[in-house]
Amino acid sequence: MGDCRGDRLRECCFIIILVMLLVCCCTNGEDPYSFYTWNITYGDIYPLGVKQQVILINGQFPGPQIETVTNENLIINVFNSLDQPFLISWNGVQQRRNSWQDGVYGTNCPIPPGGNFTYTLQVKDQIGSYFYFPSLALHKAAGGYGGFRILSRFVVPVPFPPPAADYTILAGDWYNKNHNDLKAILDSGHDLPFPDGLIINGRGANGYTFTVDQGKTYRFRISNVGITTSINFRIQGHKLLLVEVEGTHTLQNTYDSLDIHLGQSLSVLITADQPARDYYIVASTRFTSQVLATTAILHYSNSAAAVSGPPPGGPTTQIDWSLEQARSISFGRIICPVEYLFYG
């Protein structure tokens, strides 16, 4: 009888220990993984009304948006269906002891035509707005880029309330010439010609619409994905509350417009507090003798009227204006209210 009780006690202890081990294993698992498969191809589109060959990712231009959370692992299998070697670089995303995943020639071997390469990234201790782009042979002039946003973990506070929606704007200069022709110009020792225009999210003037509800606040993540020119960004009749630059939350200052230089990304909050109609979203070139501009549409869901009048103008060649604005951006100590703790 005593032996039976002893056996049962040992059996119960074993079960308890086993359950505890299982709980420990479950609660101390790896950081999560996300998997992507991308096929890189050519395709014909009309960004500025002229048919041209661009680089598509899974048939899209811009390419698929990556949305991830701090510390997540990304496995991105890229198949190169072009007739040239290809690489993708992750602009601003840190590669800690992982430089061979950065997608830059010299640390990465190009993906040969018909081949594939699997990028393995971990977005360690980063938040904010970024983008990816092709880094070889001026492929960037043919597209192949897309948005890359890293959200905060729920335990990391964000210094503003959750917006009603979160939009990405990829703006920059664009050429109607084929990227091979542009590369040949550079290889011959000459400068690139002046761009043919600007595009927003792969489209020309008024080609893209962002819908908002009156009275709500929205986040816009804006990146300059161009080749040669800085841009100025503004929204007709609306203030821009700057909240993040290059993955760092800023002290929140309000601007009428913002300069965004090549490769830069930032986030602004826009409150739809104007009369219900449509408004111009404008990007224009900076520091150029000839000013190029393009527009998208901010559409109120209860809009009573289309956009009207000329798009609002912005700064053109004033370098001091841009420097003063850059000096006004501060990354001082930011207090995050506890009620914003769980916004990603």
pLDDT band at 125 (very low <50, low <70, confident <90, very high): confident
The token pair that represents 280 in the structure block = 């111009």
Q: What is the DSSP letter of 256?
A: S
Q: What is the pLDDT confidence band of residue 338, given thresholds at 50, 70 and 90?
A: very low
Q: What is the pLDDT of residues 178-214, one digit of tens each?
A: 999 999 999 999 999 999 999 999 999 999 999 999 9
Asked if the model's pLDDT at residue 111 lies above 80, the reply is yes
CA angle 133, 138, 143 (to 5 degrees): 45
pLDDT reading at 36 higher than 70: yes
- Can you tell me the distance from the alpha carbon of 170 to that of 70, in angstroms, rounded to the nearest whole number? 22
Contacts by 251-254, CB closer than 8 A, 24 or more apart = 251/330, 251/331, 251/332, 251/334, 252/159, 252/160, 253/328, 253/329, 253/330
For residues 283-308, average pLDDT:
95
| Residue 42 in domain | yes
Q: Tell me which residue range forms the domain holding 302.
A: 166-331
Which of residues 99 and 341 earns the better pLDDT score? 99
pLDDT confidence of residue 343: 47
Query: Both 47 and 190 in a single domain?
Result: no
Is the per-residue pLDDT at 344 higher than 50?
Answer: no
CB atoms within 10 A of CB 226: 25
Together in a domain, 128 and 196: no
Q: What residues have CB less than 8 Å from 51, skipping those under 6 apart?
A: 44, 45
Q: Residue 127 in 3-state DSSP?
A: coil
How many domains does one find in the chain?
A: 2
Residues 121 and 196 in one domain: no
pLDDT tens track for 220-237: 999 999 999 999 999 999
Q: Decide: 322 and 224 in contact? Cβ < 8 Å.
A: no
Percentage of the chain lying above the pLDDT 70 cut: 88
In the structure encoding, which two tokens stand for residue 5, read together? 């009780």
Query: What tens digit of pLDDT does each residue of 55-66 get?
Result: 999 999 999 999
Residue 107 sits in the same domain as residue 64: yes
Mark whether 143 and 173 lie in a shared domain. no
Do 113 and 217 belong together in one domain?
Answer: no
Q: What average pLDDT does the structure give for the chain?
A: 89
Is residue 7 in some structural domain?
Answer: no
State whether 228 and 289 are in the same domain: yes
b/e map 119-150, b = 16+ CB within 10 Å: bebbbbebbbbbbbbbbbbbbbbbbbbbbbbb
Query: Is 88 buried (19+), middle (13-18) or exposed (0-12) by CB count in 10 A?
Result: buried
Residue 18 lies in a domain: no
| Separation between Cα atoms, residue 158 and residue 338, nearest integer Å | 9
Give the pLDDT of residue 147.
Answer: 97
Q: Is residue 179 part of a domain?
A: yes
Token pair, residue 276, equals: 């219900």
Instruction: State how far the Cα of 269 lies from the Cα of 244, in Å rounded to an integer.
Output: 10
User: 80-89, pLDDT tens digit by residue?
Assistant: 999 999 999 9
Element (H, E) at 131: strand 128-134
Q: Do 245 and 140 belong to one domain?
A: no
Note whether residue 300 is domain-resident: yes
Q: Which of 116, 151, 186 is the last residue of a domain?
A: 151
The reply to whether 312 falls in a domain is yes
Backbone Cα Rg of the chain? 24
Q: Which residues pair with 57 in a beta bridge?
A: 40, 60
What is the mean pLDDT of the segment spanning 35-57?
A: 96
For residue 342, what pLDDT is reported? 44
Residues 204 and 145 reside in one and the same domain = no
pTM for the full model?
Answer: 0.86
pLDDT at 22 over 70: no
* Residue 324 forms part of a structural domain: yes
Reported confidence tier of residue 11, pLDDT bands at 50, 70, 90? low
Q: Tell which residue, 147, 290, 313, has the closest CA to residue 234.
A: 313
Q: Are residues 241 and 105 in the same domain?
A: no
The reply to whether 158 falls in a domain is no
Residues 111 and 170 in one domain: no
Q: Would you say 66 and 132 are in contact if contact means Cβ atoms under 8 Å apart?
A: yes
Residue 78 to residue 214: CA distance in whole angstroms: 41
- Domain containing residue 65: CATH number: 2.60.40.420
Q: What is the pLDDT of residue 25?
A: 47
8 Å CB contact between 197 and 173: yes
Q: What distance in Å separates the CA atoms of residue 337 and residue 344, rounded to the nearest whole number?
A: 14
Structure confidence at residue 18 as a pLDDT band (50, 70, 90): low
